[in-house]
Amino acid sequence: MANEILKYLSKYVNITEDIEKAINESVYIKNFTKGTILLKEGDFSNDCYFILKGCIRSFYLKDGDEKTSEFYTENQVVLPNEYGQRIPSECFIECVEDTIVCIGNKELETLAFQKYPQLEKIHHVIADMMVVNYQKTFTEFKMSSPEQRYLWLLKNRADLMQRAPQYQIASYLGIKPETLSRIRKRIVKK
Amino acid sequence: MANEILKYLSKYVNITEDIEKAINESVYIKNFTKGTILLKEGDFSNDCYFILKGCIRSFYLKDGDEKTSEFYTENQVVLPNEYGQRIPSECFIECVEDTIVCIGNKELETLAFQKYPQLEKIHHVIADMMVVNYQKTFTEFKMSSPEQRYLWLLKNRADLMQRAPQYQIASYLGIKPETLSRIRKRIVKK
DNA sequence: ATAACTTCTTGACTTAAGTCAATGAAGAGA
DNA sequence: TCTCTTCATTGACTTAAGTCAAGAAGTTAT
């Protein structure tokens, strides 16, 4: 099952035997049921996740509302903002569905990078890709109206509409649930 | 002058002599005057920049308007989305002020990483930080109203208000110039 | 099966952003 | 210095999002 990670990585870098070993030594697999809170505001975050199956979201409590900042699904990496630092988390991380993840933690990660320096290459490629992805997504978001952002979601992450409740998706789009409901109505008419 | 980069890096990692050599071999310094276009939509991007002095922005042409996606100032890294890939750029990069930069390019970078594998450590730390920064900024943006986003800018990047014209800042905030003008008026009253 | 929740939709109304056009102010160039 | 251009502000109006409240639909637990 952990070789899903290897399959994922092999799209970007060449997987050697050592790397395979490194991954297997550094992560373990765990199941969580829908609704499980993986990280609470104020807690220290020492784990990161690679999703094998299921859906996870991160959200903040602000003005009495939950604001979903990100949804993560199969083959995505959940990297808490304060991962491995000794800083209390500002957000919650929760399973939106029953979810199977590979868990990595800061200590094992550090050991692995020491023992297998070739891992740096992988980190390099993946991190570059994540930076570019964030830049692109952020830009797209800023340039778009709420309606355009919803259409973007339909086009690029249509599955989320089935997987997560609408009020969570609304805050993910930066709007209120009522507004998302009305945008959907408006679009059906067109 | 290039040791500004080293000073910046030394905040995050230990700088060895080799790393110093690597940096000096891989970047060169150049001046640009206000208004210089460093990258045009459709062009291939092979350079990245570390700003020593000045201000640079990236923007897109969409619906006949310029949409500023990011402002970069002293000690920030301008990393074009398509940097080093053989893909035409979707955005423009322009100097908002007379600007002095360290320029790195993909070929020299690749050579440097081959010659000085210790550089991977630096890349690791800086890339991690960039990913977290983007996550945080994006989240902050999504959770805020246009007015809150403007206040956020005043608090965190106040200098931009003096350095860039208001219509560019408006699109950076995801709003129209007229709206920014009205938000400013509203806030003064309060 | 029923009750208790949670989520989604709808309506009526308020507030703020978008649009278009005009004017004013500041800066650049001849 | 004067003109031309660019940018910022303002007004009047349109459109869309936020707010509050009520009710419908769908879930969960007992």
Which candidate from A134, A136, A172 shows the least CB-CB separation from B135? A134
* Phi, psi dihedrals of residue A124, rounded to the nearest 5°: -55, -55
Q: What is the pLDDT of residue A50?
A: 95
User: How far apart are alpha carbons B83 and B90 in whole angstroms?
Assistant: 11
Contact between B20 and B6 under an 8 Å Cβ cutoff? The reply is yes
Q: What is the pLDDT of residue B189?
A: 66
Spanning CA of B131 to C1' of D4, the rounded length in angstroms is 46
Spanning CA of A182 to C1' of C12, the rounded length in angstroms is 15
B154 or A4, which is more confident = B154
What digits encode the pLDDT tens for the residues A4-39? Answer: 899 988 988 889 998 899 999 999 999 999 999 999
Say yes or no for a CB contact (<8 Å) between B174 and A143.
Answer: yes
Share of chain B above pLDDT 70, in %: 98
Rounded to two decimals, the pTM is 0.91
Beta-carbon contacts of B171 under 8 Å, excluding residues fewer than 6 positions away, are: A142, A143, B59, B65, B66, B67, B68
Which candidate from B130, B134, B143 shows the least CB-CB separation from A138? B134
What digits encode the pLDDT tens for the residues B24-33? Answer: 999 999 999 9
Spanning CA of B183 to C1' of C16, the rounded length in angstroms is 10
Say yes or no for a CB contact (<8 Å) between B60 and A139.
Answer: yes
Rounded to an integer, the average pLDDT of A72-96 is 95
State which residue of chain B sits closest to A169, comparing Cα positions. Answer: B142
Closest of B111, B120, B9, B131 to residue A113, by C-alpha: B120
Which residues make beta-bridge pairs with B78?
Answer: B49
Which nucleotide is at minimal CA–C1' distance from B167?
D7
User: How far apart are alpha carbons A148 and B63 in whole angstroms?
Assistant: 13
Rounded to an integer, the average pLDDT of B102-106 is 95
Does residue A167 lie within 7 Å of nucleic acid chain C, judged by its CB?
A: yes
Burial class (CB in 10 A: 0-12, 13-18, 19+), A1: exposed
Give the angle subtended at the CA of B103 by the CAs of B98 and B105, to the nearest 5°.
Answer: 145
Q: Enumerate the residues of chain B whose CB falls inside 8 A of the CB of residue A132.
A: 79, 81
Distances (CA, A) of B78 to A82, A143, B93: 24, 19, 9
DSSP assignment of A25-53 equals HHEEEEEE-TT-EEE-TTSB--EEEEEEE
User: How far apart are alpha carbons B56 and A136 in whole angstroms?
Assistant: 18
The two three-digit tokens of residue B131, written as one number:
């990913």
Contact between B101 and B28 under an 8 Å Cβ cutoff? The reply is no
What digits encode the pLDDT tens for the residues B181-190? Answer: 999 999 976 5
Say yes or no for a CB contact (<8 Å) between A62 and B143.
Answer: yes
Nearest chain B CA: its distance from A38 CA (Å): 18
How does the average pLDDT of chain B come out, rounded? 93
Beta-carbon contacts of A165 under 8 Å, excluding residues fewer than 6 positions away, are: none
The two three-digit tokens of residue A82, written as one number:
């304060």
User: How far apart are alpha carbons A36 and A95 in whole angstroms?
Assistant: 5
The two three-digit tokens of residue B64, written as one number:
């006949």
